[in-house]
Structure 1
Amino acid sequence: MTDAKKIATTTIRKKMTRRTAELLRRLSEIPKKGYAFGHQDALSYGITWKNNGKKMKSDVALVCGKYPAVFGFELGNLEKALPNSIDSVNFDIMRKLIRKAYKKGGVVTLSWHPDNPVSNGNAWDITKAVPSLLPEGDRYDTLYEWTKNLAHFFRSLKDKKGKRIPVIFRPYHEMNGGWFWWGKGHCNAQEYQRLWRETHRLLVREFKVHNLLYCYSPNLLFRKKDYLTYYPGDAYVDMLGIDVYQHLTTGLFKRHLKKDLRTLQTVAKAKNKPYALTETGLEKVNTANWFTKVLHPLLKDSGICYALVWRNDSERHHYAPFPGHTSCDDFIRFSRLEEVLFLNDLKR
């Protein structure tokens, strides 16, 4: 695990808010107790409901009586100043839910699937775009406007006392895969690094956003050395992650995840940064004991600060159990494991 005292002197940016520095230290301390469980869009909607922002609700809590410790939210469409995310969550409601999660002691992480700036297609439109967003490119004004819109939202994340809420920001993720316009085959490593650095520069220096931790998170690896291929540099990254889903057999997933978590741990220790399984899951959770017998044995001694499963969009596309699901009993057992931390287990 990381050294929290060393982080305080080597990683924290001078203009990072005190609360954001505390979140960084807190993430580094979590592995001493276990790992935090997270769920994407946990508070925004579930299989049979959608939140209006007035109260906390979660499929996870409906099943086991506990809220996740880590709450994921999606920012896609915010760059275009639209009212709702690509997951149809209103950004004003999202802001309220982030406040509720933070007030209760939760960790908030924000993913971002921006539209393709050249074709105006979605994030999965792989029309070449990254070079156009760089300072010499013909769409640099788009990147500027995008980051300005993001910055307005980030600066608006405040508690009732007017103090800014610290969050993890995870842009341009899974870049070593070819399915996003910023991914492998659609830009080279240098172009990707420059895009990350310029986005970081605009947010921090131009728009004075100081309540973000920046998380770098490739998809699963085929070679150990691939983890750092697109890495923008220590000064631009606060924590490390990796996204590994079970798409095929359980055995293949176990082999991939075990190998990649070792790589992640090695890199994170060398750089003294906290690290997480930033996305994972088995769609529909159709292995009844998946949480206790497949996922947990791989995570319990891995040193990660959290593991986040993806969203519950529908009965055809979900990654956490909901009332009546065949994996509910297993998930309840999972939630009672000493090393698995839920919201009430985190201290701030």
Structure 2
Amino acid sequence: MKFLKGFGFAIVLALFIMSCTEDQEEPVTLSTVSITATIAEASETGTDGEINVRLSTSPGIPTQVNLTIGGTATNGTDYQLIENTVTIPANQLSVSIPIKVLTDDLDEGTETVVVTIESVANTSIKIGDENSATITISDPSGSLIILKPEDARSYMVNPNATDETVALFYNLKTISLSHFIVGQQDAFNSFYNDNGGDSDIKKTTGQDPGLLGSDFLFITDDQNDETSGNWFYQQEQIIIADAKEAYNKGMVNAFSWHFREPYEGKSFYTSDMTTFQKENAFKSILPGGENHEYYKQKLDKIANVANSLIGDDGKLIPFIFRPFHEFDRDWFWWGQSFCTPEEFIALWRFTVEYLRDSKGVNNMLFAFSPDNSITSASDYLARYPGDNYVDILAMDNYSDFFNLNEAGMEAANNKLQIISALANERVKIAALSESGYQVKDGQVEDISGFYSNYLYNALTKNNVKIGFMMFWYNGSDYYYTPVPGLNSTDDFIDFANKPASWLADDLPDMYSLP
């Protein structure tokens, strides 16, 4: 029995040694690598695609993954060139590959991009079951009018516009086919918690907004006497400096006009006005009205500012002018209850002709922007002054986003579809000229996914094509765009990093034609 026991022990020991030897010879698999299409539906005139290469666990060193690029779309022709190797950095699990679709005039139908994992440089990493990803690129160009640089001037309000203004029109239109510029009102001077310095969007994302919103309110105020000690004139100088800074950074400028009523010059809100003022303010500034000359003086001031906006390059700074916004509501004295469609159209046309023809303003694009009451193209066009008087078909919309659910998002998207389609038919630029959701300290909390889900989908679903969208300004105890450290900060960063969203550093040269 002792012999048998010893013999048995020897056999077990030998088997154990053999087992250990075999285990040492076989490589240990630390991780698998897979590839998926995180944005699988792209469009030549819409959304870019995105592919993600992911490790199940990190080996702690950089991982080079070799790829095969295939499909019916041509790498470097139908989409920006992507390399056939990608490296996942050490201690990271994944890396994304953007499929940036290139626009052309060819009707190519639907094409595909197929990216397959061929091999991995690290032999301890195996290729997983998900080893291929496909992006579908649709091409609805048959129904879209693609603007050519040489034709841009013929679709603009001002055929004598400066070359830089023509380029701005063309580039905004072209950008709208696949991206939108993210802007903010008064971004250089209004901050959450009054924390100055960089714009709040730059504090959060590392980039300024691509568009700066400003206002002619203080510039045209009755109390602006244009002396250095005057508060309103000081605000004028700040606004002009901001516009120049934005231009010099390659950003886009847009001016709204909260124009105070002409009788007392105190307010633009009808809630502050007498019945007489509400019923007569708009009519009084029409040609022949008792305040028409007063109105022309305000336009003279706007023209003087426009004609003196010079960038560091010595050229006139182009900008978007958006007068009489939200005219389909009644909170402003130019609202629909206080003038007929014919009166509104007459004043709009006079405004354009006076600035363009009488004052020689050639660096201005005109934006037409009701609020969100529209439900059809006929609604939108009810007070439309005509294609010869409008460059940008826009809309302001806050209240659809107050619902903060799918229904609100779909309502906003439906309205943007109307504007987008009209802009395509008329070769104009579509835009969401004011929007956002105000989060207020102690009163209104942020909503999970507002930016990257509700807002982004409203701006991009169903072939919506807008050139820009603009958030309203931040204040001491509220924000429309979050700063670092808030619950919604990561959500906003995700929104800013989405394929269609462009901030300042993403912009091409907006003031040169290709």
1:78 match: secondary structure: coil
Q: CA 1:344/1:89 → structure 2, altered by over 3 Å: closer, same or farther?
A: farther
Distance 1:187 1:118 in 2: 16
Are residue 287 (structure 1) and residue 447 (structure 2) matched? Answer: yes
Distance 1:272 1:37 in 2: 21
1:164 match: secondary structure: coil
CA deviations on 1:231-270 (whole Å, 9 max, x unpaired) are 1111111111011114631234213201101110121112
Contact 1:115 1:123 in 2 (8 A): yes
Greater shift in the superposed pair: 57-66 or 298-307? 298-307
CA deviations on 1:87-124 (whole Å, 9 max, x unpaired) are x9811111111111111111111111010112433111
Aligned to 2:408: 253
RMSD (CA atoms): 2.0
5+ residue gaps in structure 2? 1-143, 225-229, 440-444, 510-514
1:287 match: secondary structure: coil
Are residue 336 (structure 1) and residue 493 (structure 2) matched? Answer: no
CA deviations on 1:212-249 (whole Å, 9 max, x unpaired) are 00000111134312101111111111111011114631
1:93-172 to 2 correspondences below 5 Å: 93-125=238-270, 127-128=278-279, 129-172=281-324
Residue identity matched to 2:451: F
TM-score normalised per structure 2: 0.63
Greater shift in the superposed pair: 278-287 or 245-254? 245-254
More helix by share: 1
Are residue 4 (structure 1) and residue 144 (structure 2) matched? Answer: no
| Partner residue of 2:385 out of 207, 229, 232 | 232
Distance 1:243 1:161 in 2: 33
Distance 1:7 1:47 in 2: 39
Shift in Å, 1:183: 0.7
Aligned to 1:27: 172
- Larger relative contact order (CA 8 Å, sep ≥ 6): 1
Contact 1:175 1:230 in 2 (8 A): no
| Partner residue of 2:342 out of 190, 193, 217 | 190
Distance 1:211 1:31 in 2: 21
More strand by share: 2
Residue identity matched to 1:250: L
Distance 2:329 2:454 in 1: 24
1:242 match: secondary structure: strand
5+ residue gaps in structure 1? none
Aligned to 2:470: 308
1:275 match: secondary structure: strand
Are residue 347 (structure 1) and residue 347 (structure 2) matched? Answer: no
Are residue 47 (structure 1) and residue 188 (structure 2) matched? Answer: no
Contact 2:402 2:437 in 1 (8 A): no
CA deviations on 1:25-57 (whole Å, 9 max, x unpaired) are 010111244111111111122123476xxxx72
Q: CA 1:3/1:202 → structure 2, altered by over 3 Å: closer, same or farther?
A: same
Distance 1:132 1:50 in 2: 42
Residue identity matched to 1:72: G
The structure with the larger Rg is 2
| Partner residue of 2:459 out of 286, 299, 311 | 299
Greater shift in the superposed pair: 154-163 or 37-46? 154-163
TM-score normalised per structure 1: 0.92
Aligned to 1:15: 160
CA deviations on 1:159-207 (whole Å, 9 max, x unpaired) are 1343110000000011111111001101111111111111112211221
Aligned to 1:80: 221
Distance 1:173 1:156 in 2: 25
The percent of aligned pairs where both chains have the same amino acid is 29
Aligned to 2:98: none
Shift in Å, 1:80: 2.8
Contact 1:261 1:302 in 2 (8 A): yes
1:151 match: secondary structure: helix
CA deviations on 1:132-176 (whole Å, 9 max, x unpaired) are 001110101111110011111111110134311000000001111
Distance 2:263 2:325 in 1: 19
Q: CA 1:223/1:335 → structure 2, altered by over 3 Å: closer, same or farther?
A: closer
Distance 2:234 2:469 in 1: 23
Q: CA 1:314/1:89 → structure 2, altered by over 3 Å: closer, same or farther?
A: farther
Distance 1:18 1:286 in 2: 43
Shift in Å, 1:18: 0.9
Distance 1:175 1:210 in 2: 25
| Partner residue of 2:484 out of 323, 327, 339 | 323
Residue identity matched to 2:456: H
Shift in Å, 1:8: 3.5
Shift in Å, 1:2: 5.1
Shift in Å, 1:12: 5.7
Contact 1:44 1:89 in 2 (8 A): no
Residue identity matched to 2:324: Y
Distance 2:493 2:380 in 1: 34
Distance 1:342 1:92 in 2: 25
Aligned to 1:65: 206
Q: CA 1:249/1:265 → structure 2, altered by over 3 Å: closer, same or farther?
A: same
Distance 1:266 1:213 in 2: 20
